[in-house]
Homo-oligomer: A and B are copies of this chain.
Amino acid sequence: MFDLSSYLARRTLLIEEHLEALLPQETSAGGRLIEAMRYSLFAGGKRIRPVLCLAAAETVGGTAADALSVACALEMIHTYSLIHDDLPAMDDDALRRGKPTCHIAFDEATAILAGDGLLTFAFEIIASRCPAPPARTLAVLSLIAWAAGPQGMVRGQMLDMVIQGRPANVQEVEHLHGLKTGAMIEAALAAGALIAGGTDSEVAALRAFGRKLGLAFQVVDDILNVEGDPAIMGKAAGTDRIQGKNSYPALIGLEKSKEKAQNLLNEALESLSLFDFRADPLRAIARYVVTRNK
Interface residues of A, Cβ cutoff 8 Å to B: 29-30, 32-34, 37, 80, 84, 87, 89-90, 107-110, 112-113, 115-121, 123-124, 127-128, 133-135, 137-139, 141-142, 145-146, 148-151, 154-155, 157-159, 161-162
Contact = CB atoms under 8 A, between A and B. Distances in A.
Contacts of A118: 150
A123 B30 CA distance: 24
Contacts of A141: 123, 127, 138, 141
Nearest to A77: B120
A128 B142 contact: yes
B120 A150 contact: yes
Contacts of A145: 120-121, 123-124, 127
**Most chain B beta carbons < 10 A, residue from A29, A117, A127, A162:** A127
Copies in the complex: 2
A154 B123 contact: no
Nearest to A29: B159
Most buried by B among A109, A120, A154: A120
A85 B112 CA distance: 9
Given A127-B141, A141-B123, A90 B116 contact: no
A84 B110 CA distance: 11
A90 B108 CA distance: 8
A72 to B, nearest CB: 14
Contacts of A80: 116
A154 B124 contact: no
A109 B89 contact: yes
Contact of A142 (B108, B124, B151): B124
Nearest to A133: B134
Nearest to A118: B150
22 contacts: A29-B159, A30-B151, A30-B155, A30-B159, A33-B150, A33-B155, A84-B116, A89-B107, A89-B109, A116-B116, A116-B119, A117-B150, A117-B154, A120-B145, A120-B150, A120-B154, A123-B123, A123-B141, A127-B142, A128-B138, A128-B146, A133-B134
Contacts of A115: 116
A139 B137 CA distance: 11
B158 A110 contact: yes
- Counting from the closest, the 10 A-B pairs by CB-CB distance are A124-B145, A89-B108, A120-B149, A117-B150, A134-B134, A127-B142, A33-B158, A134-B135, A128-B142, A127-B141
A35 to B, nearest CB: 10
B150 A37 contact: yes
B150 A34 contact: yes
B117 A149 contact: yes
Contacts of A151: 30
